[in-house]
Structure 1
Amino acid sequence: MVRSTSSAGDQPTAVVYTDRWMRRYDFLVCTLSTRLVWGCPEPLLVDFYRHNLRERHLDIGVGTGKLLDVAGAPSGRDDFEALHLLDVNAVPLAMTADRLRRFSPITHQVDALGTWPLEDNSLTSLGASLMMHTLPDEGRGLAGKTGMFDQAARVLEPGGRLFGSTVVTDAAFARRWPPARLLISAYNRRGFFTNSRDTTRDLRAELEARFINVRVRVRGCVAMWEADAR
């Protein structure tokens, strides 16, 4: 049974995340774009989930839930103790909840940069895959998106794992691979991405200000990070 909370109103991104578009998301984003444009193939992202998933998990910016679906429950378990899904847009949230219904997820239609309806120290892992580059930055780059990290630090128990991936613009791959360079530029002009100022250096700095054991690596033009709650 899927339970839910909601505090989101109309969002501009709802124009993009329609049912018609989301039916194509797995192939266009997870299969094609990650490998051919961003240089970070889907199997690598699935393995990243498998390595970091814990028993009380929250996924934010859920897409269609494919990565989490393929990764499955945490190692050594058949189910999650609790699985939460958070997204500002109703269509991907509902699609992911249906896909993962075997885990009885609890959904939250909430802005990732707002206040999350979750208790302090209540989670053991939190995943944010391929979504931070879409968050509005108020013209401040990653510094304008760190409300997400503040909330993550609040809801994770000490030692809990934060992990995620995002397209960054300072990676050498993003500068020299024409499809990546052109698509990043086009998506920023259209407002699908807001990452023209997002750098690996800033990502690491913002994480280290809030977490311990920060690890950031770049594959293609995707920065993948792991960090532990204090």
Structure 2
Amino acid sequence: MGPAMSEKAAGAQGAQVYSQWLLALHDWWVLGIVSTFAWRCRTKSVLLPFFRNNVGHKHLDIGVGTGYYLHHAKLPADTQVTLLDLNANSLEAAKRRFGRNDTPCVLHDIFEPLPSELGKFDSMSMFYFLHCLPGSPEDKCSIFEHLKRNLTENGCVYGANIIGKDINHNFFGKTMLKFGNKDDFFHNMEDSKVALTGRLSEHFKQVEVEVVGAIFMFKASQLTL
């Protein structure tokens, strides 16, 4: 782990261990099969370009998953990337897959303000992350109250998340949504385009959104006064 990790955060680390074969399985199933056929939003042709096109010079990746996007984005060598997650194993796996040994890893609860030593970022990404946070759209979007303080003047926060309300899910999507929420892996039955857009607009002057299949894609910038 990087030097920014606190002992308090280390005590909350998840227990899942990501081996190479599990990483491959996760990407094949979640980012391949499920994204394509349940959420109807292709990772390679829609989400990956969206991720790549919005990465700034100093970037914070929140909810790092397997490190898929960083691995495939082919970022410029001078891009400064910091990884943030509540699971130490995910951080290690994403850092290893990204392939830059000096990448800082921060084990942190996103509902708490970011460590002051991190400074400000030109961009922050959160892919398949908001729908995993507990609470209502208002509860989960409260994180932007402190995240926006760590954005540069022209910085942006962007991401892609599954919405559960006011969307026509197919049978596969309904099944995944049902079991995901039943097992507390998802918390998104009240998440809708209208609700999430409204909450983002409370924190940012400019909010761009697009719904592809069942995926809510957003980019927020220009901080409110």
Note whether the superposition's TM-score is higher than 0.5: yes
Q: Quote the offset at 1:19 in angstroms.
A: 2.6
**Quick one: percent identity of the two aligned structures?**
26
> Any conservation in 1 of the 2:114–2:147 contact (CA below 8 Å)?
no
2:128: which partner in 1?
Answer: 130
Alpha-carbon distance in structure 2 between the residues aligned to 1:95 and 1:166? 22
Residue 62 of structure 2: which of 60, 63, 75 is its match? 60
TM-score by length of 2: 0.89
- Counterparts in 2 of 1:222 and 1:118: CA distance versus 1, 3 Å: farther
CA-based RMSD: 2.1
Aligned pairs for 1:100-179 within 5 A? 100-102=98-100, 104-119=102-117, 122-137=120-135, 141-174=136-169, 177-179=170-172
Is 2:225 the partner of 1:225? no
Q: Quote the offset at 1:202 in angstroms.
A: 1.1
Q: Deviations over 1:28-72 (max 9, x none)?
A: 111111111111111211000121110000000110110122112
- Structure 2 residue matching 1:28: 3-state secondary structure: helix
Alpha-carbon distance in structure 2 between the residues aligned to 1:167 and 1:206? 16
1:30: which partner in 2?
Answer: 31
> Any conservation in 2 of the 1:157–1:229 contact (CA below 8 Å)?
no
Alignment: residue pair count: 219
Q: Quote the offset at 1:3 in angstroms.
A: 4.6
Q: Quote the offset at 1:152 in angstroms.
A: 1.9
- Counterparts in 2 of 1:65 and 1:34: CA distance versus 1, 3 Å: same
Q: Quote the offset at 1:2 in angstroms.
A: 5.2
Q: Quote the offset at 1:150 in angstroms.
A: 1.8
Q: Deviations over 1:120-177 (max 9, x none)?
A: 861100000011101111xxx1111123212321100111011001100125332xx0
- Counterparts in 2 of 1:46 and 1:119: CA distance versus 1, 3 Å: same
What stretches of structure 1 move > 3 A for 4+ residues in a row?
Answer: 1-4, 20-23, 118-121
For structure 1, the 5+ residue unaligned runs are none
For structure 2, the 5+ residue unaligned runs are none
Q: Quote the offset at 1:90 in angstroms.
A: 1.1
- Counterparts in 2 of 1:146 and 1:119: CA distance versus 1, 3 Å: farther
Alpha-carbon distance in structure 1 between the residues aligned to 2:24 and 2:11? 21
2:71: which partner in 1?
Answer: 69
- Counterparts in 2 of 1:24 and 1:120: CA distance versus 1, 3 Å: closer
